[in-house]
Structures are given as C-alpha cells and as structure tokens.
Structure 1
Amino acid sequence: MSVIQVNGIDLYYKIQGSGENESLLLIAGFDSDSSTWAAMMRSLVQQYQVIRFDNRGIGQSSAPDSPYSIKQMAADAVALLDYLNISQVHVAGHSMGGQIAQELALAHPEKIQSLILFSSWAKGDGKFNSLIELFGDLTQKLEGALYQRVLLPWLFTDAFYSTPGIMEQLINWIEDYPFPPTPHGLYHQSRAILGSDTSDRLADIHGPTLVMVGKDDIVTPIRFSEQLAQGIPNAELVILEQGGHAFVVESADTVAKVMLDFLEKHKQGT
C-alpha cells in the first residue's frame, strides 16, 4: 500500500504502467475512490503510467471530520504529483473529480498536458444542488450499503439495469468492499461540491481539453458539459450515445477508446 502524508492527511495512491510512458492522473468523483477506474485500466496502462488516488474523505485516504473544499482536494493532487516528481501530466476527472481537475488546471496550468472532464460541470443549478445536498444529508440517515443502493439508479442506465445479473454483482461488490466510506466523509465531499464554482474562470483553462458526457446522464445533464465546452477555449465535446453518469464503469471500453484517441493527439512531440 502506498500512502503519503500531505496537507494534514494520509493520501492513498497507486501507480500502474511503465514509468517510461507519459503520466496520466485519474481523479474520482463523489462517493468514489480509485477503484472507479478499474474497468478502464487494462487499456490505459498499455500506453501510460497511470496514477490513481483516493480523495480525502474516501477509500484508504483519511476522512477528517471537518469541512473540505474542491480547491483543497486539488491541492492534495498537486502534492502527490510533487512527491512523485511529475512535472507534467494528463489529467482526467469524473464528476466531482472533474471539478478537482478544473481547479488543478487553473492553479497549475504548467503541470497540465491535457485535461479530460467526464460527467462534470462548472456550476450546478438549483435541481442539481438540491440533489447533492440530499446525497449529503442521507449519509446521516441510511446505513452504508443501503445508502449505496439508493444512489445506484441515479448512476446507471435502464440498459445496464436490464443486463441479467449485473446489478446483483455490483451490489455484492459494494457490500463486500473492504474500504467503505464514512458518513461524515461523504457529507463533507457533498458540501465541497456545493461550494465550488468555476463558471467565471473557464476561459483561463487553455490546455487541450476533452469534455465528455453520457446522453442518459440524469445527474449532470448534457447542458452542464455544453457549458464547460463553450467556456473553455478550444475544448472538444463528446456526447456518448449510450451512457449514464457512471459511464466510466458502465461503458468503460468505449470511454477508454475516446479517451485514448484524444490523448494520442496531445502527446509530447505530436
């Protein structure tokens, strides 16, 4: 297990792939740790040194019972890159991880070789904020496994649900997972989401950027990604025809292919 102490917490991370390749940092979203990317790893590690980590409040990283911010979690990611002596990196963030990736790019543009924002947003609207507030409040009301099951219909499509046996497998995995989140960790993550807004700073993100969303995403609808793509200079928008909010799990192979095609265009020397 690889853990470093940064910004007053223990931060868990994992590196796979050849160190001779360019580096790719993956940042997970709310209620998600580094295992979120597992289905994509086989494709990614063939071409990149892939760095995954658990945000504060989740997985094997510390979950202090005090307020978090998206900028703070971006600072955690930067501290990890500095510890690993990585001066430039491709960065991909999913959902809340996309918020973190935006703040990382804004604070340290010199470190960002390219940016990928999955199912993310600049500023939530009233409905979205109400939903995230509810997700945070429910952590105090529901037992852990039941809480996770309540979230699942928001994350996956009808097609995924209709695949024989898939939801049973997913629920069993959740119930057996050895590093379940703490209620207070999730609560503080939810409030960090609500406190973040990059809408008036998107024009300051100048690196190559891919914005991607699933057509059936009911948590972060297409208009959120359209706002990102319109606000970030020269950003590329891809709408996946089949995919919900958790399309990095549900449609992992398709997402990985789009991701790798984008990254190939922005390797050093190309």
Structure 2
Amino acid sequence: MPYVQVDGGRRIFYAEEGSGPDAVLMIHGWGCDGSDWAWLMADLSRDHRCVAIDNRGHGRSAGVPGAYAPRAFAADALEVIDRLGLVRPVIIGHSLGTLIGSVLAVEHPEVMRALVLVDPVYHGEDARLAAVVDALRRAPHEVAAELYGDFFYSERTPSWIPIWHRRRLLGTDEGAVLGTIVGLQDGTDGLGRRVVAERYLPRRGVPTLAFYGGDKPAEVALERRLQRGPLDAIEFWPEHGHFLHQEAPERFATAVRRWLETLPDSGRPT
C-alpha cells in the first residue's frame, strides 16, 4: 500500500516512480498534493528513485487538528525518508514545502543530499500574516481561493491550472487550510515570518538551489544573503508565477538536472 505509517499509526500517502542510485523526495505546498510533481517525476524518474508525498491534512494523508507547523510537517517527511529507506535524497519543495525542506536542512542535514526550493515563502511580514490568518478564520476556503487567484498566477499560467488548483483546494480539509497558515506565523517556530527565517535559515547545512517567480527583488536579495557555499544557486524567473514548475515544466526539469550534475555523488551508497 502506498502509505507510510507515522506518529502512532497516522498515514502519509506517497507515490513512487523510477529507480537509480540517487533519490528525490518531493514536497508540495499549501492546499496542494503530490500530483503537483507529476511532470518532474516523469523526467527525473528515468534515472532517480522519486517519491512525492501528500503532506498531513492534504490529499490522501490524514490530518492532525491543530498541528500544522513547519516542524510538524518536517517530522512526517523525516519518517518517510526513514521508513522508505531513502538514502540522502535531494529534497525538492514548493511553497510550504520550502519551509519543510529547510527545517530538515537545518535540523537533520545528514539525512539529505541537497535542497531545491520552488518560490519560497519565508518572507512574510508579521502584520500581513496576521491579517491573512484573521481572514482565513472567517472563511478558510473562500479566502484561500482568493489568495490563490490574487497572488499565485502569471500571464503565462495556462487557463486549466487555476481550475485544477481551485478544485483541489476546496477539497482540502478547512482545518488544514487554516492551520497551515497559522503555523507559518506562530511565534519563534513561524518560519513564514521573515524575522524568524533570517535567523534560522543561515543554519541550512546542504547545497541549495532556489527558484523565484514574479516580481520579488527583495526576496531574491534575502536568498543571496542566505547562501552558504559555492554550490548554492538562484534561478530568478520573473515572467512566471508561484507555480513556475508547472508553468514551464520542461525548462524547470532541465534547470534542476543541470544543477544536480554539479553536486558530489554523496547521495550514493558506498
């Protein structure tokens, strides 16, 4: 069965494709599920073992009321790595998944080889995050759908993508829709807060490739300050939106492969 049991029997759904000496773990964003990575899996699975999970409370994975902070999501991903025997996978995260992957890169760098970030979301200002949470408390699905429409797409977004996203978002448990954003701004663990991220993220202990879409010069500037070594890199695609990996899947896969080729073969068992 394509489930990993975590945390006393709760189930995390995953899909797996391909095989090879190197593994990849793909982690989706808020209101999404592992199907976000279908295009990238089709490419990388030619020579990688690829696993895409549904985060807790999303897709086919069980939720945990009140427990949607980035560290909680990361604990699930860590168990998936262990239970599936993934040997130092490259972790690829989008949106919320960039926080989950970053927690693992700070707290457990020994379990992973590298980190790919797709339009990170650790730049939130406190007042803005608080206003979003207040609005979500009143109408989680409706406000979330408005946020998607207002901020996540570009002129290059195919018309079918927002329709697919909206259907999936509205099918996500409203507790997870609200709780995930609450977790982004919850005190010193709220990694969606810029003031927290600026202190925490410099501790990431693996090579990192970050993609940014849209008009985000300040966010890209922060990412440059977070870079730690010669293998760290940034791809800035201002003509694309938050789901740039879906808007330009072939270009995205090519860029990821090109960067992976620069890494040492440290993910391979000896």
TM-score by length of 1: 0.84
Question: Which string of whole-angstrom CA distances, capped at 9 and with x for unpartnered residues, describes residues 210-268 of structure 1?
Answer: 11101x25xxx342243133123022111124211111111222111111111111151
- The alignment status of 1:125 with 2:125, answered yes or no, reads yes
CA positional deviation for 1:126: 4.0
More off after superposition, 239-248 vs 119-128 = 119-128
What root-mean-square deviation, in Å, do the aligned CA atoms of Structure 1 and Structure 2 show? Answer: 2.6
Give 1:28-177 correspondences, 5 Å limit: 28-126=28-126, 128-130=128-130, 132-133=132-133, 136-137=136-137, 139-140=139-140, 142=142, 148=145, 151-160=148-157, 166-167=158-159, 169-170=160-161, 173-174=164-165
Q: Match of 1:191, as an amino acid? A: V
Q: SS where residue 197 of structure 2 aligns?
A: coil
CA distance in 1, matches of 2:135, 2:144: 9
Contact in 2 for aligned 1:12/1:60 (Cα 8 Å): yes
CA distance in 2, matches of 1:16, 1:260: 17
TM-score by length of 2: 0.84
Contact in 2 for aligned 1:25/1:51 (Cα 8 Å): yes
Counterpart in 2 of 1:202?
201
CA positional deviation for 1:81: 0.5
Counterpart in 1 of 2:223?
228
Counterpart in 2 of 1:249?
246
- The alignment status of 1:16 with 2:17, answered yes or no, reads yes
Contact in 2 for aligned 1:122/1:228 (Cα 8 Å): no
Unaligned segments of structure 1, at least 5 residues: 161-165
CA positional deviation for 1:57: 1.5
Counterpart in 2 of 1:189?
180
- The alignment status of 1:237 with 2:237, answered yes or no, reads no
CA distance in 2, matches of 1:74, 1:14: 18
Contact in 2 for aligned 1:139/1:187 (Cα 8 Å): no
CA distance in 2, matches of 1:253, 1:99: 24
Contact in 2 for aligned 1:205/1:232 (Cα 8 Å): no
| Percentage identity across paired residues of the two chains | 22
Unaligned segments of structure 2, at least 5 residues: none
Structure 1 residues 62 and 238: CA distance shift in structure 2, 3 A: same
